[in-house]
Amino acid sequence: MSKTGTCYRADHLLKDFCNEKIQKDLSISAEKAVELKHILAVLDDLSAEELGAKIKEYGITAPDTRNPLSDPYPFNLMFQTSIGPSGLSPGYMRPETAQGIFVNFKDLYYYNGNKLPFAAAQIGQAFRNEISPRQGLLRVREFTLAEIEHFVDPDDKSHPKYSEVADLEFLMFPREQQISGQSAKKTCLGEAVSKGIVNNETLGYFIGRVYLFLTRLGIDKDRLRFRQHLANEMAHYAADCWDAEIESSYGWIECVGIADRSAYDLRAHMDKSGVPLVAHEKFSEPKEVEKLVITPVKKELGLSFKGNQKKVVEALEAMNEKEALDMKSSLETKGEVEFHVCTLGETVTIKKSMVSISKEKKKEHQRTFTPSVIEPSFGIGRIIYCLYEHSFYLRSSKTGDEHLNVFRFPPLVAPIKCTVFPLVQNQLYEDVAKIISKSLTAAGISHKIDITGTSIGKRYARTDELGVPFAITVDSAASVTIRERDSKDQIRVNVEEAATVMKSVTDGNTTWADAWANFPHHSSGSAEE
């Protein structure tokens, strides 16, 4: 940015440079290729200085202007603002929505009858100060995130509905395949879980459900892959992480992340707030366990340490098992021991009379633990953008000199489920169209009514372009035709049946194939196009 003041993300520049070299420059040596691939692999771990050094070494310049670049510096991706009138309380716009669920864990656990597993889901706006927003909806500063936080016992990550998805087959791209330069392969989810490629059943269950969710929306299954994070991509605490990546004209886009984040989030909140965010498992019968018991004798300690007594007590109680057992044996042999109290910044002498240390057998009725969390996290805008690309196609008009735009949105997601129009403009057909419109409203089916005199072919083309899956054309007072968008096939149904048929094919209870099998077919003749 030396010359123009334009800023770039140093890691993105270096990544683009390496990818470009590896893919397009045939003159680079095998060693060079290995070096560049290594940089890509460790990119996220590089410091600002290391990034700067590599940029200088490779002579990378600004993408558009080829101007030289100044040294990189760290940049906070959170938007800062000031809360309240004083100007003294800085605030930040949330860069993710998930934390709200973690801080409410105690209440959520209680609402679920203090039982695991359970899940909480939410959807909301998040904000990141992207340095260079681009690629339409793919990289923006305000976006919609949705997550499910599924809390499980870390010792039991099975899932009761896992068998419902275990037989699914789709493109998976495990770590090993990526490192060895292979590409994503069609894989049976159940096998990937049983071989340990996917860390556990619950993680596998959500990978399967995300696959079903995306393909039901209309994402092309051949342009959807589940890519496992490389070791260096993954947060240190994560047990395993897979991204649902969708291929678009911008390449493979990360749209959903499905991660086993272990107990990290709950532990981090617990450490900062001091509030225990834990779950309990009641034993069917009490278990006998051996426990270390440290009992400071406060009276003795008080006599010796006066005002410092509390800090000494706390330090004694905070000893781990080894420290305590060492002290116990020293006290037994020597009668006293030197003990460093960090909070006092000094070493004190502990006498045998001041503390009792013993191992005791105790009966425990329950086990206390921090739950693990499995988190599918959805980038809503990205999914919608990819859905647009996968749903869009062109078809020739009848005369062939024109291309018509069509969105093949499935009935489930199409914002408008059907259009109603009279074949020609007359009062009778208009009245029938209005009756059908009312019955569609009563059935809760979103629709458009088009009583313009435009040719039927043009009106079909118009609703195809909006991705409306069905069109009801009124061409008599008793019966109407229903046309399916992609096949252009038409059936004939009675006016009274129209809304019921629509309801059934749009809410997924039946398919168009069922309707096609059950109703007389209608030939469009010259009406279409």
Task: With CA atoms as reference, report the closest residue to 475 among 436, 444, 443.
Answer: 436
Q: Counting contacts by CB under 8 A, is residue 307 touching its own copies?
A: no
Site for its own copies in 266-305 (CB under 8 A): none
Residues whose CB falls within 8 Å of the CB of residue 99, separated by 6 or more in sequence, listed in order? 265, 269
Separation between Cα atoms, residue 6 and residue 131, nearest integer Å? 10
Please report how close the Cβ of residue 376 comes to its own copies at its closest, in angstroms: 20
Q: Counting contacts by CB under 8 A, is residue 70 touching its own copies?
A: no
Please report how close the Cβ of residue 301 comes to its own copies at its closest, in angstroms: 42
Separation between Cα atoms, residue 36 and residue 15, nearest integer Å? 9
Q: Counting contacts by CB under 8 A, is residue 415 touching its own copies?
A: no
Output the six-digit token pair for 101: 């669920």
Taking the chain, what is the end-to-end CA distance rounded to the nearest angstrom? 55
- Which x/- pattern over 87-126 shows residues binding its own copies (rule: CB under 8 A)? ----x-x-------------------x-----------x-
**Stretches 84-92, 233-241, 262-270, 326-334: which one binds its own copies (CB under 8 A)?**
84-92
Cis link prior to 117 (omega < 30° from 0)?
yes
Please report how close the Cβ of residue 131 comes to its own copies at its closest, in angstroms: 5
Q: Counting contacts by CB under 8 A, is residue 79 touching its own copies?
A: yes
Nearer to its own copies, 79 or 388 (CB): 79
In 279-344 the beta strands, taken as DSSP E runs, fall at: 279-296, 336-341
**Stretches 76-84, 99-107, 270-278, 325-333: which one binds its own copies (CB under 8 A)?**
76-84
Output the six-digit token pair for 213: 């969710």
The helix or strand, by DSSP H or E, that contains position 327, with its residue range, turns out to be helix 321-334
Nearer to its own copies, 39 or 451 (CB): 451
Separation between Cα atoms, residue 471 and residue 418, nearest integer Å? 5
Distances (CA, A) of 69 to 46, 50, 64, 410, 475: 18, 14, 12, 48, 68
Output the six-digit token pair for 497: 């049946």
**Is 13 exposed, middle or buried, given 0-12, 13-18 or 19+ CB atoms closer than 10 A?**
buried
**Stretches 72-80, 297-305, 428-436, 492-500: which one binds its own copies (CB under 8 A)?**
72-80
Nearer to its own copies, 97 or 308 (CB): 97
Please report how close the Cβ of residue 251 comes to its own copies at its closest, in angstroms: 24
Task: With CA atoms as reference, report the closest residue to 394 among 296, 292, 464, 476.
Answer: 464
Site size for its own copies (CB under 8 A): 20
Q: Counting contacts by CB under 8 A, is residue 74 touching its own copies?
A: no
Nearer to its own copies, 129 or 304 (CB): 129
Nearer to its own copies, 133 or 251 (CB): 133
Nearer to its own copies, 113 or 196 (CB): 113
Site of interaction with its own copies (CB under 8 A): 5, 7, 75, 79-86, 91, 93, 113, 125, 129, 131, 141, 450, 452
